[in-house]
Structure 1
Amino acid sequence: MTKLSVNINKIATLRNSRGGNVPDLLKMAQDIQDYGAQGITIHPRPDERHIRYQDARDLKTVVHTEFNIEGNPIKKFMELVLEVKPTQVTLVPDAEDAITSNAGWDTIKHKGFLQDVISEFKRNGIRTSIFTDPDVQMIEGAVATGTDRIELYTEAFASAYEKGDKNGVTPYVEAAKTASAMGLGINAGHDLNLDNVRFFKENIPGLLEVSIGHALIAESLYLGIENVVNLYLNKLKD
């Protein structure tokens, strides 16, 4: 099956908004794995507004499935990844002040830079993946960087699917076929959710892993809150 890696950034956002350690990020990561998720993803940013760099270090002792660290390979990020040595590093070209990732790499323009970064991570035994748009030319460019995998940026698909346009998956199908033919593993992420993820998986050949965070946490508020409210009511009964 396609593996599910849960991005826990939003859990860290909630913790940071109040101070202290509630919710406990490490316990949540452990619980998510115990519930069956096959990986944990984090995306630390330079301002540490959600995941802190120390979280990455602490999670290393907790994540017993696949540990995926995403981010723009600035010097501080690279040093962190080389220290922690996760299962996978996913390179994302987001600006330091970006709210969320919003574009894949231009693998042709940044070929030399990506080659240098990827070779350093691979020398340290870390699997590499790079965030890409569903553009065959960019997929072909990714091969030259030496990356092990690509992560297809799925916002465009999700937006089209929400509007009822299932043809929005077509560029992703072509990108996946190209990647597979050229020996690249295929991951995907961004705006995948309970409504669209099955359709996406069924249409993308060779899909190894999806990384889902915001939607999964938001859906948990709805699908899990009834249970919690009733637990409180039971506690408060005469």
Structure 2
Amino acid sequence: MTKLSVNINKIATLRNARGHNRPDLLQAARDIERFGADGITVHPRPDERHVRYQDVRHLKAVVKTELNVEGNPTPDFLELVREVRPEQVTLVPDAPDAITSNAGWNTIEHQDYLRDIVTELKGLGCRVSIFLDPVPELVRAAATTGTDRIELYTEDYARRYHTDREAALLPYREAAQLAQQLGLGLNAGHDLDLDNLAYMAQHLPGLAEVSIGHALICDALYLGLENTVQLYRRCLSGGKN
């Protein structure tokens, strides 16, 4: 079954709005794991507008499943990863002022740079994933960096899903099949939700993990956090909501 890693950035955003510790980010991570998630994802950005670097340090001591830390490998980010050594690091080329991640790596242009980063992170004992668009040339170039996995950027799939879900998924299927041939593990994330997740999970070969935050937290406002985590897991197990 595809694993569910829950991105808790939006919980941190809510906490930061009042400057106190409500909601408690660490307790939320504990509860999300208890409710059935297979991992916790965070994406600390330089301005710390949601998850802060200190949160990542605290989460490493709390998370019992897997901690996935996403981000652009700036010097500060790499220093944090050297200290925390999460189970997985997902490399994302987001600009400091980006509202959210909106593009994958050009693994052809940045091949040597990424190879050096991947080598260091794997030396720390971290599994490494590279965030990229479903383009065969980019998948091939990613494989040369030594990365363990790629994470397919799924915004385009989500945008086109209700118009023609088969056509929307096609480039992702082709990228997934190529990743399997190249020996790469496969993750996916961005704009996945209770409407479009099950179809992707059922038809994307080799999908190891999805990382979902914004939609899941939005759903939890109406459905409750425990129920929502279990509904997302049901999508990944072949069930229908």
**TM above 0.5:** yes
Contact 1:160-1:166 within 8 A present in 2 as well: no
Identity of aligned pairs, percent? 63
Whether 1:12 aligns to 2:9 is no
Query: Unpaired segments of 5 or more residues in structure 2?
Result: 228-241
Alpha-carbon distance between aligned partners in 2 of 1:200 and 1:112, rounded to the nearest angstrom: 32
Alpha-carbon distance between aligned partners in 1 of 2:130 and 2:124, rounded to the nearest angstrom: 17
Whether 1:185 aligns to 2:178 is no
1:100 corresponds to: 100
1:70 corresponds to: 70
**Distance apart, 1:223 and its partner CA:** 1.3
Q: Which has the higher contact order (CA 8 A, sep 6+)?
A: 2
2:39 corresponds to: 39
Cα-Cα RMSD: 1.1
Alpha-carbon distance between aligned partners in 1 of 2:93 and 2:68, rounded to the nearest angstrom: 16
**Distance apart, 1:70 and its partner CA:** 0.1
1:155 corresponds to: 155
**Distance apart, 1:164 and its partner CA:** 4.3
Alpha-carbon distance between aligned partners in 2 of 1:125 and 1:162, rounded to the nearest angstrom: 40
TM-score (ref. length: structure 1): 0.93
**Distance apart, 1:163 and its partner CA:** 3.2
1:142 corresponds to: 142
Alpha-carbon distance between aligned partners in 2 of 1:222 and 1:167, rounded to the nearest angstrom: 31
**Distance apart, 1:162 and its partner CA:** 3.2
2:54 corresponds to: 54
Q: Secondary structure at the match of 2:83?
A: helix
Matches within 5 A, 1:214-229: 214-224=214-224
Contact 1:135-1:171 within 8 A present in 2 as well: yes
1:27 corresponds to: 27
* Poorly superposed stretches of 4+, deviation over 6 Å: none
Alpha-carbon distance between aligned partners in 2 of 1:164 and 1:5, rounded to the nearest angstrom: 27
Alpha-carbon distance between aligned partners in 1 of 2:162 and 2:10, rounded to the nearest angstrom: 22
Alpha-carbon distance between aligned partners in 2 of 1:100 and 1:29, rounded to the nearest angstrom: 21
Q: Secondary structure at the match of 2:192?
A: coil
Q: Secondary structure at the match of 1:152?
A: strand
2:85 corresponds to: 85
**Distance apart, 1:222 and its partner CA:** 1.6
Q: Given residue 199 of structure 1, which amino acid in structure 2 is its aligned partner? A: Y
TM-score (ref. length: structure 2): 0.92
Q: Given residue 171 of structure 2, which amino acid in structure 1 is its aligned partner? A: P
**Distance apart, 1:165 and its partner CA:** 4.0
**Distance apart, 1:129 and its partner CA:** 0.2
2:211 corresponds to: 211
Alpha-carbon distance between aligned partners in 2 of 1:27 and 1:221, rounded to the nearest angstrom: 17
Q: Given residue 27 of structure 1, which amino acid in structure 2 is its aligned partner? A: Q
Q: Secondary structure at the match of 2:62?
A: coil
What do residues 113-150 of structure 1 show as CA deviations (whole Å, max 9, x unaligned)? 00111101011111100001000110000001110000
Query: Unpaired segments of 5 or more residues in structure 1?
Result: 228-238
1:196 corresponds to: 196
1:235 corresponds to: none
Alpha-carbon distance between aligned partners in 2 of 1:214 and 1:162, rounded to the nearest angstrom: 19
Point out the structure with max Rg over C-alpha: 1
**Distance apart, 1:189 and its partner CA:** 0.2
